[in-house]
Amino acid sequence: MQNFSHTWLPFIYLYTVGGIFFFAGMIVIRKAKGIDMRLKRDRKWWRILLFGYFYFMLIHALLILAALYW
C-alpha cells in the first residue's frame, strides 16, 4: 500500500492550487463582464465549466482508489 504522501497529497495539492487559479479565473470573468448571467447560453457554459472541474476531480479520485485497492 502506498503512503499518503505519494497518493493523496498530490491530489489535494493539484485540486487546491489548481482550484484557486480556476475559481480566481471564474471570478475575473464575472467581474470583467465577460459573461452575462442573464443569457441562457452563458449560464449553461458557466455550469459546464464548474461541472467539468468537479467531474475530473471525482474521476481522478476514483482512479486513485482503484489503483490502491484493486
Q: Does the pTM of the predicted model rise above 0.85?
A: yes
pLDDT confidence bin for 2, thresholds 50/70/90: confident
At residue 38, the pLDDT reads: 96
pLDDT confidence bin for 51, thresholds 50/70/90: very high
At residue 3, the pLDDT reads: 85
**Could you write out the DSSP letters of every residue in the chain?**
---HHHHHHHHHHHHHHHHHHHHHHHHHHHHTT-S-TTSHHHHHHHHHHHHHHHHHHHHHHHHHHHHHH-
